[in-house]
Structure formats: structure tokens, C-alpha cells
Structure 1
Amino acid sequence: MAYTTAELLWLKHLLSDLGVPFNKPPTLLCDNIGAIFMTNNPVIRTRSKHIALDFHFIREQVESGDLLVHGVSSVEQVADIFTKALSKERVATLRNKLQV
């Protein structure tokens, strides 16, 4: 999530330098409910000092309004086509979602 956040912010800054306006912040979709909770909940900050700095970086972006983090169910996770062994039917469904 941290790498994708950094890439999203880089693309946002690049496009704004090229004159492309943004009406709302980019949305990062994640299927890990625990990670989403940690990025959106400021109370857990005091209990998570041992967590990698990545989550703190993402949380700062969420708190500043530069990023939105939302959940997506594992069934709807399109990236699975690139990372998991799937049945033919599941591959066909995800390929259609990718419009390939």
C-alpha cells in the first residue's frame, strides 16, 4: 500500500504540473480490513509504534486529505488475475473486468 500511495502521489503531482486539475483525491482500494483500519483510525497510533513507517506514511496522507483508502472484497480484487492461480471461469470474469 505504501508503494502504491507513493506512486499515486507522484502521478498526482506530475499531472498537476501538466495542468490537469484534481477535484478529489485518488482512492486506494485494499482487501485487507486490518490495514484499512490502521490507515483510517488515529486512535491506534499510540499503540502501533512498532508498525512499519509505511502505515504512518499512508495515515498522514489520509489525514491530510491527499488520499482515500477504501475496502474491496477479495472476490472483486482484479489484481488476483496477476498474482494467483485461478479457475478458468474466474480468469474470464477478471479479464472482462480489465476489458481485455
Structure 2
Amino acid sequence: MSWLSSMLGELKIKKKRSPVIWVDNMSAITLASNPVLHARTKHIELDIHFVRDKVLGKEIELRHVPTADQVADIFTKPLSHQPFVKMRERLGVVSLASLGLRGCVGRDSQADQAAMHDLKSLDRQADQAAMHLKSLDRRVDQAAAMHLKSLDRQVDQAVDQAAACQADQAVDQADACQVDQAVACNTKITNHVDQCMATKQDARDKQVINSTRAKVIDKTKERTKAGTPKEPIRRAHTSYSCE
């Protein structure tokens, strides 16, 4: 296997995956996969160390197969008739006795064709199952993406609503504060105007009183100079006639 891998590497043929070796002995798989050496395994041959290095380097892969399905037994063990025929059919080898004079294949070839047909149908079913799984994966990914997008939209809407609500509250508070300030300012202005009007009215009243007093004093002085006696000041009565 290592020689074939090195030859393929020199030919610049890339391997898609590590070659698989089917083993029907679980103990051999465990020894090859486990790097820890135990007391019972210190007298083993060097081949196991070589295989272990290849397994750890992922150059080969060991898998378990039941003994009844081990195709390599046809080359290493004396099998009975039924297991021998079974393994031979799996290898795709046709018996010479089944070939006729015309070169057509007999019953064994028909069984092989049926087996190949079954294998092809199984391969088609496996491909269809793989396609179905891929479509399911795509649907799941699409559903997850749509769900995430809807969640993002909901979060954005909630954030926008919260921001709008906070902005409205801030505007209402600012408006209320401005209205209160305007009312207070208007009240101050009104009070100041009232005070000014009262002050002006008081000034006018004082001016009228002073002017009246000055006129009376002037008339009194004139009469005193002329030598006329003082006449008592009579109030003028205004008569209103109703026609």
C-alpha cells in the first residue's frame, strides 16, 4: 500500500482520501490505532509499528468488517463451497463452467448482472438520499437565515420605537418647560406694565392737584392785591335737564 501510494505520488496523482483496509480483528485495529504500548505487546514484530505509524500519519485507514464478509479470506483460507462462491461473486470473477460456446454468460453471469443491477439501484438511491439531505440542509439554512433576519428587523423596530418614545418625551418636557417659562415671563411683564401704569396715573393726579393749587394761589394773590375781600369758594353745581 505504501509502495502504491509513493508511485501514485511520483505520477502526480492526488489521492482524494486515505486508502481503507478492512480488518476483521478488533484487537489488531486497537493495537494499530492506540499509540500506548502495554506489557502484553512488547514482544510483537516490527510490522505492527510500521502499520501504527501509517495509521497515525493518516496514510491508511483501518475499518472493521465481519469475518463472514471478509473478501480477502478467499486468498488466505480454505473455504467451503458456499462462502467461496459468495466471495468469488463479490470479486466479480466468473466461473469458466458458466460460459457457453457462444461466449454468452450463463446463470452465474445472470446472477452477477442482477447483483450489479441491485448495486446500481442502491447507488442511485444513495445519491437521491444525498441530494435530499442537501436540499434539506439548504432549506434549514434558508429558514434559519430568514428567522435571523426577522429577529433583526424586530430588534431594529423595537430600538426605533424606544428612541422615538424617548424623543417624544424629551420634546414634551421641553415644550412644557418653555410654556411655563413663557407664562412666568408674561406674568412678570404684566405686573411691570401694571406698576408703570399705576405710577403714571399717580404722577398725573399729582400734576393736576399741583396745577389746581397753583391756580388757587394765583387768584388769591390777585384778589389780595386788588383789595377785594375773599369770597368763599363755592362748589359748582351742574344741573342736568331732562328733555
TM-score norm. by structure 1 comes to: 0.81
More strand by share: 1
Match of 1:15 in 2: 8
1:63 to 56, 60, 73: 56
Identical positions, percent: 38
CA RMSD of aligned residues (A): 1.5
Moved >6 Å (runs of 4+): none
For 1:51 and 1:34, locate their aligned partners in 2 and report how far apart those are by CA, in whole Å.
13
For 2:8 and 2:89, locate their aligned partners in 1 and report how far apart those are by CA, in whole Å.
28
Gaps of 5+ in 1: 1-7
Bigger Rg over Cα: 2
More helix by share: 2
Match of 2:42 in 1: 49
Q: In the TM superposition, what whole-angstrom CA distance separates every residue of 1:59-91 from its partner, at most 9, and x where no partner exists?
A: 111111111111111101112222333232222
Match of 1:5 in 2: none
Superposition deviation, residue 13 in structure 1: 0.8
Letter matched to residue 91 of structure 1:
F
Match of 2:159 in 1: none
1:35 to 28, 52, 63: 28
Stretch of structure 1 that moved more, 75-84 or 30-39: 75-84
Superposition deviation, residue 18 in structure 1: 0.9
Superposition deviation, residue 14 in structure 1: 0.2
2:87 to 83, 86, 94: 94
Gaps of 5+ in 2: 94-243
For 1:50 and 1:86, locate their aligned partners in 2 and report how far apart those are by CA, in whole Å.
31
- Seen in structure 2, the aligned counterparts of structure 1 residues 80 and 46 have a Cα distance that, compared at 3 Å, is closer
Query: Which structure has more RCO (C-alpha within 8 Å, separation ≥ 6)?
Result: 1
For 1:56 and 1:88, locate their aligned partners in 2 and report how far apart those are by CA, in whole Å.
37
Letter matched to residue 65 of structure 1:
K
TM-score norm. by structure 2 comes to: 0.36
- Seen in structure 2, the aligned counterparts of structure 1 residues 85 and 49 have a Cα distance that, compared at 3 Å, is closer
Match of 1:85 in 2: 78
Stretch of structure 1 that moved more, 8-17 or 77-86: 77-86
